[in-house]
Structure 1
Amino acid sequence: MITEGKTPTSPVSRERSREIKRQSVISAARQARLLSRVDLAERTGLPPATLTALVRELIAEGYLIERGTAAQTTGRPRAMLEFNPRAELVAAVSLEPPRITCEIADSNGTVIAHRTSRLGGDMVQTVCHFVAELVGDSRPALCGVAIAVPGVSSDGAVRLAPSVGLVEAEPIGQTVQRELGVPVVVDNDVNLMAAGERVAGAGKDVDDLLLLHVADGIGAGLILDGKVRRGASSAAGEVGFLPLDPEPAPAYGGVGPFEARWSANAIAERVVALHPGRRPETPVSELIGLADTSAAARDYLDEVLHAWARLIVTCACVVDPGRVLLSGAAAQLDDAALAKIQNLVSAKAPASTEVRRAVLGDQAVLHGAISYALSAAVRLPALT
């Protein structure tokens, strides 16, 4: 029987409310790192009885560590609480054929475990195995996973990733989340590179930038107002499909016409044609070296620089990033070639556009993935 005038409280609603309060304490402690119970009360607005119970629970679980008292200019010394970054671990996974790289980091972004291996077999099972193996006995602390893929990702489903055998949508994110039981974020590897450079590299001092990555294909990661922009179907940045040449190469098997002609693969093939021998591992560097003694190589290098500059100007006309970072094979450009691209862009772009090399190299994806995983892990549960 329900008493008139009183609304019954659902046990589910009570549990959800408690979890939100718990997460608000964790979030406040995570941001402050070291604070008192009084500070926690001011930051969360929770009543003393509720806060005391939650703090006691979080100390027992290892989220909070008691660190003695801190001297105060007035009043009694306050007992201090420190947030334990090892209480929340995240996994950053990079699928970069023919290899897979996985790192486990704490909530400070400090890497505590790392492994790189050849990518083979079932992709989802490989990811789950790597993460579980690296996190080991600390599995209960794992609270988020980010996966970088060389293709388009929408709601965890990956497509246009021919290098890992995924052209049609494959629900990698949902499957890994179901297997590991923690939030999973899947995104294009170039988006994560851009996020990594924004967090720890050549984009730390700007909120708007475009990262142009030249590898087997060509892709761009776009950050505007400090946020990665993906577009309506998460295909923003697929600049390798732009028809920027008078006679573009045809798109096939998930490869766009521009990247078919101006990617690292295409440059490597041309370098071999210019200087028969082994296939170069650093094709742009070798092309620059050849250009010192070969007129044909100098002419081809000039074509490459004009093509990449044309791509940068096209992007600048649409999104005005202000700064463009060259990544992958494009970061192999020497100072003279970089200056030439800058001059070509400055002459044609409608607004000031600075061109720089990205600085993190292979670590850019993992910096971005750690940032993504932490973001996924710290979200408060939705009210339902």
Structure 2
Amino acid sequence: MTDVVTPPSSPVSRERAREIKRMSVISTARQVRVLSRAELTELTGLSPATLTPLVRELIAEGYLVERGTAASRSGRPRTMLEFNPRAELVAAVSLEPSRISCEIADSDGAVIAHRTARIGSDIVETVCTFVPELVGAALPSLRGVAIAAPGVSSGGAVRLAPSVGLVEDRPIGESVRQRLGVPVVVDNDVNLMAAGEHAAGAGADVDDLLLLHVADGVGAGLILDGRVRRGAAGAAGEVGFLPLDGQERGYDGVGPFEARWSENAIAERVVALRPGRRPAEAVRTLVELADTEAAAADYLAEVLEAWARLIVSCVCVVDPGRVLLSGAAAQLDDAALDRLQDLVATRAPAATDVRRAVLGDRAVLHGAVSYALSAAATHQSSPS
């Protein structure tokens, strides 16, 4: 009889397996918030012998806090554990025209520190200065950084973002990661908005959606099967480059569609309709003017027609099921939104629900939290 020799298990494999179990406990506690050890055992599938040292470790690290006792089915009191969102901090950095903002938030999306400044010549240096200063003594709890930038992002590099001085590829993600030592995710700002609405907003109940954001430009964030889709070169959702006819081309990083139907373009037309100062909310002002002025009503109809055509074009390709209007597009009143919905419904090949996004300026933050925590989990569970 031949003896079968079992090779010793790899220490790296054992460590990775333990980290996966640890992340399972953290993820479960983050989702349920308050639970007992018995419930953790049931939800994670881990044995009490495996779970006990992990829970002890997570209590010592501040992830879990003991919160008194509660009765169990057997009548015996059991100690309850509560997840501490402050044990996981993320930095959400937004690159905007002429300024950079940085927020430090916990895993609930609660902001604990914030700073805004003008964009300088070195974005990486600014980020790597802001984040440690804002986190302060809680730096060991920093799990990741998410950077939102207008333009195209691929592999941590940003291009076609002229409003923030990034036209050619700039590897800001890797540069920040090397300096701060935590996972860094760089993505288009509208992708982060879509991720935020999917995590905590008007798309939390669906797995497929398209977020249409109208601001200085026009962009879209696409989520299919619960995941943000970026495309082969990171340019998925650059709907501002939709050609209006066969002759038009983008210029200086601005697409032909957004050159005509962005908030900037609409604001210029509103000023022409009612001379004076540029309106702070161009679409809302246009809707109000349309109630009393025929020229404004005609122009509003043109805007809705253009946006509907854009939405239907996207629906024909990806069938998102739900379209969320963000930025200036969310300023439509109920009547205008209903008109846009009708235009889409009569032309789209599949049922498409058009509604407003609900998180507003907080969408990027919630998306950043989702991105950073996901990146941190992937980093911790991957082989070293």
Give the structure-2-normalised TM-score: 0.88
How many residues of Structure 1 are paired with residues of Structure 2 in the alignment? 379
Question: 2:188 maps to which residue?
Answer: 188
Contact 2:102 2:131 in 1 (8 A): yes
Q: 1:263 to 1:247 in 2, by over 3 A?
A: farther
Contact 1:158 1:168 in 2 (8 A): yes
Question: 2:314 maps to which residue?
Answer: 315
Q: 1:39 to 1:337 in 2, by over 3 A?
A: closer
Paired residue secondary structure (1:91): strand
Question: 2:284 maps to which residue?
Answer: 285
Range with greater deviation from structure 2 (10-19 or 181-190): 10-19
Question: 2:46 maps to which residue?
Answer: 45
Q: How do residues 334-373 of structure 1 correspond to structure 2 at under 5 angstroms?
A: 334-373=333-372
Question: 1:102 maps to which residue?
Answer: 102
Cα displacement string for residues 135-158 of structure 1 (whole angstroms, at most 9, x for unaligned residues): 111111111111111111112111
Cα displacement string for residues 203-254 of structure 1 (whole angstroms, at most 9, x for unaligned residues): 23332221111111110111222222222222111111111x2476431111
Q: How do residues 187-226 of structure 1 correspond to structure 2 at under 5 angstroms?
A: 187-226=187-226
Q: How do residues 65-80 of structure 1 correspond to structure 2 at under 5 angstroms?
A: 65-74=65-74, 76-80=76-80
Counterparts of 1:200 and 1:18, CA distance in 2: 30
Counterparts of 2:232 and 2:343, CA distance in 1: 31
Contact 2:12 2:383 in 1 (8 A): no
1:90 aligns with 2:90: yes
Counterparts of 1:59 and 1:203, CA distance in 2: 33
Question: 1:157 maps to which residue?
Answer: 157
Counterparts of 1:73 and 1:292, CA distance in 2: 63
Aligned-residue sequence identity (percent) comes to 74
Question: 2:178 maps to which residue?
Answer: 178
Range with greater deviation from structure 2 (15-24 or 111-120): 15-24
1:253 aligns with 2:252: yes
Counterparts of 1:8 and 1:338, CA distance in 2: 64
Question: 2:169 maps to which residue?
Answer: 169
How far has the Cα of 1:15 moved from its partner? Answer: 4.6
Counterparts of 1:80 and 1:295, CA distance in 2: 64
Counterparts of 2:205 and 2:252, CA distance in 1: 38
Q: 1:83 to 1:361 in 2, by over 3 A?
A: closer
Q: 1:255 to 1:35 in 2, by over 3 A?
A: same
Question: 1:81 maps to which residue?
Answer: 81
Question: 2:331 maps to which residue?
Answer: 332
Q: What amino acid maps onto 2:368 in structure 1?
A: A
How far has the Cα of 1:175 moved from its partner? Answer: 1.2
Contact 1:27 1:378 in 2 (8 A): no
How far has the Cα of 1:7 moved from its partner? Answer: 4.3
Range with greater deviation from structure 2 (90-99 or 229-238): 90-99
Paired residue secondary structure (1:356): strand
Contact 1:328 1:361 in 2 (8 A): yes
How far has the Cα of 1:130 moved from its partner? Answer: 2.2
Range with greater deviation from structure 2 (232-241 or 118-127): 118-127
Range with greater deviation from structure 2 (55-64 or 356-365): 55-64
Unaligned runs of 5+ in 1: none
Contact 2:90 2:369 in 1 (8 A): yes
Counterparts of 1:355 and 1:373, CA distance in 2: 29
Q: What amino acid maps onto 2:180 in structure 1?
A: L
Q: What amino acid maps onto 1:166 in structure 2?
A: L
1:267 aligns with 2:263: no
Paired residue secondary structure (2:345): helix
How far has the Cα of 1:340 moved from its partner? Answer: 2.2
Q: 1:344 to 1:67 in 2, by over 3 A?
A: closer
1:30 aligns with 2:30: yes
Counterparts of 1:119 and 1:95, CA distance in 2: 8
Counterparts of 2:338 and 2:22, CA distance in 1: 53
Paired residue secondary structure (1:268): helix
RMSD over aligned CA atoms reads 2.6
Counterparts of 2:131 and 2:291, CA distance in 1: 47
Paired residue secondary structure (2:91): strand
Counterparts of 1:338 and 1:128, CA distance in 2: 42
Contact 1:145 1:373 in 2 (8 A): yes
1:378 aligns with 2:369: no
Paired residue secondary structure (1:348): coil
Cα displacement string for residues 248-276 of structure 1 (whole angstroms, at most 9, x for unaligned residues): 64311111111111111122222333333
How far has the Cα of 1:377 moved from its partner? Answer: 2.4
Contact 2:149 2:189 in 1 (8 A): yes
Cα displacement string for residues 43-99 of structure 1 (whole angstroms, at most 9, x for unaligned residues): 253572x54444433332222323344333327544443332222111222222233
Paired residue secondary structure (1:359): coil
Q: What amino acid maps onto 1:45 in structure 2?
A: L
